[in-house]
Amino acid sequence: MTERIQDVAHLGRLELLTPKLDRSRWYFESVLGMEAVSVEGRSVCLRGYGDYAASTLKLTESDRPGIGRISWRAASPEALERRVKAIQGRGLGDRWDDGEFGRGPAYNFRDPDGHRMEIYYEEQKYRAPENLRSTLKNLPMKYTARGVNVRRLDHLALLCRDVAENRAFAQRTLGFVLREQVIFDNGTLELGSWLSPSPAHHEVAYVLDVKGASGRLHHISLWVDNREDVLRAAHVLAENGIFIEAGPSKHNNSQGFYLYSYELGGNRVEIYSGSYLVFAPDWEVVTWNEEERGTGVYWGSPLPESFIQYGTPEVTADKASAKRIPAFDPI
Tell which positions 75-104 bind a copy of itself, by CB under 8 A: 75-76, 78-79
Interface region with a copy of itself, contact rule CB under 8 A, candidates 110-118, 142-150, 161-169, 312-320:
142-150
Task: Burial-class residue 216 by CB neighbours within 10 Å (0-12, 13-18, 19+).
Answer: buried
Q: Which residue from 131, 280, 319, 327 is in contact with a copy of itself, where contact means CB under 8 A?
A: 280
* 305 lies in the site for a copy of itself, by CB under 8 A: no
Phi, psi of 28 (to 5 degrees): -75, -35
- DSSP state at residue 12: E
Q: Which residue from 88, 134, 171, 321 is in contact with a copy of itself, where contact means CB under 8 A?
A: 134
* 63 lies in the site for a copy of itself, by CB under 8 A: no
* 254 lies in the site for a copy of itself, by CB under 8 A: yes
When the beta carbons of 304 and 326 are compared against a copy of itself, the nearer one is: 304
- Cβ atoms within 10 Å of 251's Cβ, excluding its own: 22
Q: Which residue from 19, 198, 290, 317 is in contact with a copy of itself, where contact means CB under 8 A?
A: 198
* 302 lies in the site for a copy of itself, by CB under 8 A: yes
Which residue in 239, 70, 238, 240 sits closest to 248, CA to CA? Answer: 238
* 41 lies in the site for a copy of itself, by CB under 8 A: no
When the beta carbons of 72 and 109 are compared against a copy of itself, the nearer one is: 72
**How many residues contact a copy of itself, by CB under 8 A?**
81
| C-beta of residue 28 within 8 angstroms of C-beta of residue 43 | no
End-to-end CA distance of the chain: give it in Å, rounded. Answer: 31
Q: What element of type H or E holds 25?
A: helix 21-26
* Chain center to CA of 42: 22
When the beta carbons of 212 and 288 are compared against a copy of itself, the nearer one is: 288
Q: Which residue from 21, 34, 46, 53 is in contact with a copy of itself, where contact means CB under 8 A?
A: 53
Q: Which residue from 241, 316, 320, 324 is in contact with a copy of itself, where contact means CB under 8 A?
A: 241
When the beta carbons of 114 and 274 are compared against a copy of itself, the nearer one is: 274
**Cα 182 from Cα 191, distance rounded (Å):** 6
* 26 lies in the site for a copy of itself, by CB under 8 A: no
Full DSSP string of 229-252: HHHHHHHHHHHTTPPEEEEEEEBS
* 253 lies in the site for a copy of itself, by CB under 8 A: yes
Interface region with a copy of itself, contact rule CB under 8 A, candidates 101-109, 209-217, 219-227, 323-331:
219-227
**Cα 166 from Cα 172, distance rounded (Å):** 10
| C-beta of residue 59 within 8 angstroms of C-beta of residue 234 | no
Phi, psi of 303 (to 5 degrees): -70, 150
Q: Strands 286-288, 177-184: parallel, antiparallel or unpaired by DSSP?
A: parallel
Interface region with a copy of itself, contact rule CB under 8 A, candidates 56-64, 84-92, 147-155, 160-168:
147-155
When the beta carbons of 160 and 233 are compared against a copy of itself, the nearer one is: 233
* 128 lies in the site for a copy of itself, by CB under 8 A: no
When the beta carbons of 27 and 216 are compared against a copy of itself, the nearer one is: 27
* 231 lies in the site for a copy of itself, by CB under 8 A: yes
Strand partners, 155: 221
Query: What residues numbered 255-274 form the site for a copy of itself, per CB under 8 A?
Result: 255, 257, 259, 274
State whether the Cα torsion 48-258-210-189 is positive or negative. positive
| C-beta of residue 103 within 8 angstroms of C-beta of residue 194 | no
